[in-house]
Amino acid sequence: MLRAILAIALLAGAPLAVQASESSHTSVIPDVQFSFEGPFGSYDKAALQRGYKIYRQVCSACHSMKRVAFRNLEALGYNEAEIKSIAAEYSVTDGPNDEGEMFERPARASDYFKSPYPNDNAAKYANNGALPPDLSLITKARFGGASYVYGILTGYEEAPDDFTLMTGQHYNKTMSGHVIAMAPPLSADMISYEDGTPQTVNQYAHDVATFLTWAAEPEMEQRKKMGVGVIIFLLAFAGIMYATKRKIWADKH
């Protein structure tokens, strides 16, 4: 009986030992503070505009945002003329025309962000077989949300001596398994900020993580306001019902 108990204990402890031995390869998501966190949090429009600038000049070279239209940039503080100017910098395929042929035209505010590749196979071919994920919903699709995105962008390190990387791979402490195909996309002072905000990798990562959170949840501020209003209503209603109960049943005690 004693041997059986010891055997069961060893088997139960085996997964824990494996987990401990693999702990050095688990994802490390940093604890980052964002303005939109909490029930009363809101988006920082200046950070959103800076984050869009990072996406536009860096991330959009490989990553699409198929669910975001140029007109949505109005929520970031851009006016109609600015949005039309931004959209006009891109060309999109439209048609067919009267002759049945597709044609290229300048993008309009109603068009969605243009993908950098015509299809997934072209994207894989250009990135050594790796498909760059669409970033429209990335903060909702990954555990950790904005902090995960921030961690990926700031988590590049030299691989430990006992860690093997293949050609085209990079070590990243936030990535699951610590292996990522994307080279470090950010470096200090690579993008100019006109508002005097520090031009560091950490700041760039914080701003683009904020922008991608807005892209995934543009209605977040309205949802929070509605939620607070509902809670206030329920509290007031509960108070009225309690007072009514006290009044009706006062002479029954």
pLDDT at residue 253, rounded to an integer: 58
Instruction: Pick the closest to residue 50 from 162, 195, 157 (CA basis).
Output: 195
Query: Which residue has tokens 């196979």?
Result: 121
27-66+134-238: CATH superfamily: Cytochrome c-like domain (1.10.760.10)
pLDDT at residue 25, rounded to an integer: 63
Q: Where are the domains of the chain?
A: 27-66+134-238
Tokens representing 6 are 């010891």
pLDDT at residue 12, rounded to an integer: 41
Q: pLDDT digits over 138-171, tens only? A: 999 999 999 999 999 999 999 999 999 998 899 9
Return the number of other C-beta atoms located less than 10 Å from residue 171's C-beta. 16
- Cβ atoms of 57 and 50 within 8 Å: the answer is no
The SS3 call for residue 98 is coil
Q: pLDDT digits over 65-77, tens only? A: 999 999 999 999 9
pLDDT at residue 16, rounded to an integer: 34
Residue segments in the chain with a per-residue pLDDT below the cut of 70: 1-25, 252-253
pLDDT at residue 227, rounded to an integer: 87
Long-range CB pairs of 172-181, under 8 A, 24+ apart, other chains included: 173/27, 173/28, 174/27, 174/28, 174/29, 174/30, 174/148, 175/27, 176/26, 176/27, 177/25, 178/25, 180/152, 181/127, 181/128, 181/130
